[in-house]
Amino acid sequence: MAVRPRRAGHGRGRTTGGGVRFGIRRPPNGSARTARGPWSPRRPPGWGVAVIPAQSARTVRAVRAVVVGAGFSGIGAAVRLREAGFNDVLVLEKGTQLGGTWRENTYPGCACDVPSTLYSYSFTPDAAWSRVFAGQREILAYLRATAERYRLDDMLRCRVQVLGARWDGAAGRWLLETSDGPYSAAVLVLATGPWHVPRRLEVPGIEDFNGPTFHTARWDHSVDLAGRRVTVVGSGASAVQIVPAIEAQTSAVNLFQRTAQWVLPKPDVPVPAAFNGLLDRVPGARGALRAGQYALQEGFGYAFRHPRAARLLEAGARAHLRLAVRDRQLRRQLTPDHQLGCKRLLTSSTFYRALSQPHVRLHPTAVTAVRGNEVVGDDGTTVETDVLIEATGFRVGELPLSKTLYGTDGRTLDEAWGGEPQAYLGTTASGFPNLFLLLGPNLLGGSTSAITVLEAQLTYLIAALAHLDRSGHRALDVRSAAQAAHNTAVQEALATTVYNAGGCTSYYFTSTGRNIFAWPWSTGRLVRRLSRFDAEAYTSDAPAWPLSLPAQARPQPGEPTVAANADECGPPPG
């Protein structure tokens, strides 16, 4: 569905593809295009979209802020920035469309696992979902409808890949190298997403596999699975959705499971239109539903911070397994050896049933090689395969761009981190002024909606920009001592959580054993910490660094490069 600028999607009860419907007549930010935030009049002159000459003959497009990526985070940032009166903002997206995760993951059965009422922006409380856990198409349609509703078309640029950026201390700006030429921005917001770079299956012989093979985030819809022998490698969040969705059409599914994971039932039912109508009519009903779901998710969070409480959930997961799987050996193979919550908690009411089908087989072993059309397990198992699906997850710790983002001392973010990503409140990084990382290190966990975390960060971002305007400073750089103290506290608090003490390895950890993913306290605490900009943690003057373009800005290995197809995101660049 194309994003039609400015008109569509505002009428009451209008369906905007995929079943998402907004229930109010006009955008809450009806004056968005002309809105002026409280600090707008004091904005330094010349900060609007402008073209300034670069040292090389190339032109540099200068804006107040560049947001990199147009997924949930980038779209959310654009809405909140515009609402706050910042209209000289560009969202640069390398894909052909907005949507991020929900544009890229199109595999059968793809859906969210946090209820949609919570896994959506708080500023669209009237979004009416067709299921408790919406599917990929509906979520993508929702993101497009949100971009339409908030009239973001003039902010969005698709098919523009940011290749790298360098902080120019003299100018107090970021100089960006992109596939569309250079840009300059006072503020750089990275919304590139933790679940973006696929972790491919790297075993000997994979290159010579005699058949189609693809990662779940790059589903090849031209491959017909009907009557084929399919092997799925991995047993995480994507695999538990894919196996039940495809098994009926295949002649065989072989699932290679390196580590058994806890699975709770998923109460995924359609939401009757009448119920949505009721929610529309009763004032405050949608808000109350969202609050209830937030509280429920926080209950999981509490359990993950208090391993004894996690045992209760574990009893529930065990009962689910016992009821769903009759075969004792299969049950044993599916029983995890770590505590619930240590790895991302899975939810599905169909996965165990699918595994119990006669043509579906679980292999509780890692894949170690591929030989011709055989997949080989660590325990010597060999399985003949027509189609090989890599449900192997993402390189969560590898922030796209970290290798080509140069800070005040000329080091890249990657070099500054030394393999252990960390930030102040998961949002700002010392030595990288005016840089904001959305869904950055140590902010998430296995329980909450990423959107709740994101929106708390956006409040902080807006407050930081307001502070800059009020104070007249050009740059804010978080003090290294504040960053270090925060991270020491985070790591200490993590030590007793189930993430660290639950007896597993997970993608939350670096190879050095540092948990770079989880927030160790309640989401409420996170929201409170980010609700106010704490200027005392920052220095306001950044050291100078000579203006020059990033030397060798290249996409990182494995990172998908700029798309080349038709553009549905906004007007063509330039």
Ligand X SMILES: Cc1cc2nc3c(=O)[nH]c(=O)nc-3n(C[C@H](O)[C@H](O)[C@H](O)COP(=O)(O)OP(=O)(O)OC[C@H]3O[C@@H](n4cnc5c(N)ncnc54)[C@H](O)[C@@H]3O)c2cc1C
- Positions touching ligand X (CB under 6 A) are 68-74, 92-95, 100-101, 105, 110, 112-114, 119, 161-162, 191-193, 195-196, 238, 400-401, 438-439, 449-450
Q: Please report, to the nearest 10 degrees, the dihedral formed by the alpha carbons of residues 560, 565, 568, 569 taken in order.
A: 40
Task: Report the residue number, 168 or 177, with the smaller CB distance to ligand X.
Answer: 177
Shortest reach from residue 487's CB to ligand X, in Å:
21
Nearer to ligand X, 19 or 198 (CB): 198
Q: State the CB neighbour count (10 A cutoff) for residue 254.
A: 22
Residue closer to ligand X, measured from CB, 219 or 424? 219
Q: How far apart are CA 419 and CA 328, in angstroms?
A: 43
Question: Nearer to ligand X by C-beta: 70 or 387?
Answer: 70
Please give the backbone phi and psi of residue 51, each rounded to the nearest 5 degrees, phi first.
Answer: -115, 120
d(CA 64, CA 78): 12
Q: Which is nearer to ligand X, 252 or 389 (CB)?
A: 389
356: which 2 tokens? 């119990």
| Dihedral sign (CA 319, 325, 328, 333) | negative
Shortest CB 297 distance to ligand X, Å? 9
Distance spanning both ends of the chain, measured CA to CA: 23
In the bound state with ligand X, the residue whose beta carbon lies nearer, of 37 and 115, is: 115
Whichever of 10 and 403 has its CB closer to ligand X, that residue is 403
Shortest gap between Cβ of 74 and ligand X (angstroms)? 5
Give the nearest distance from C-beta 179 to ligand X in angstroms: 8
Q: Cβ 449 to ligand X, closest distance in Å?
A: 5
Nearer to ligand X, 92 or 362 (CB): 92
* Beta carbons of 385 and 373 less than 8 angstroms apart: yes
C-alpha 570, offset from chain centre: 22
Residue 96 vs 357, nearer CB to ligand X: 96
CA 517/CA 525 separation, integer angstroms? 16
CA dist 319 and 117 (Å) reads: 28
Q: Could you tell me the CA-to-CA distances from 22 to 150, 282, 290, 535 in Å, in that order?
A: 12, 15, 16, 38
Strand 181-190 versus strand 173-178 pairing type: antiparallel
CB of 572 to ligand X, least distance (A): 16
Least distance in Å: CB of 94 to ligand X?
A: 4
Give residue 549's identity as a one-letter amino acid code: L
Least distance (Å) from ligand X to the CB of residue 103?
Answer: 6
Q: Least distance from C-beta 516 to ligand X, angstroms?
A: 16
Considering the complex, what minimum distance in angstroms separates the CB of residue 182 from ligand X?
Answer: 14
Are residues 162 and 401 in contact, defined by beta-carbon separation less than 8 angstroms? yes
Q: Report the C-alpha gap between 558 and 443 in whole angstroms.
A: 24
Coil vs helix vs strand at 174 = strand
Structure tokens at 550: 């990033």
In the bound state with ligand X, the residue whose beta carbon lies nearer, of 168 and 559, is 559
Place of tokens 């608090």: 493
Q: What token pair was written down for 411?
A: 């080091």
What distance lies between CA 387 and its chain's CA centroid?
A: 28
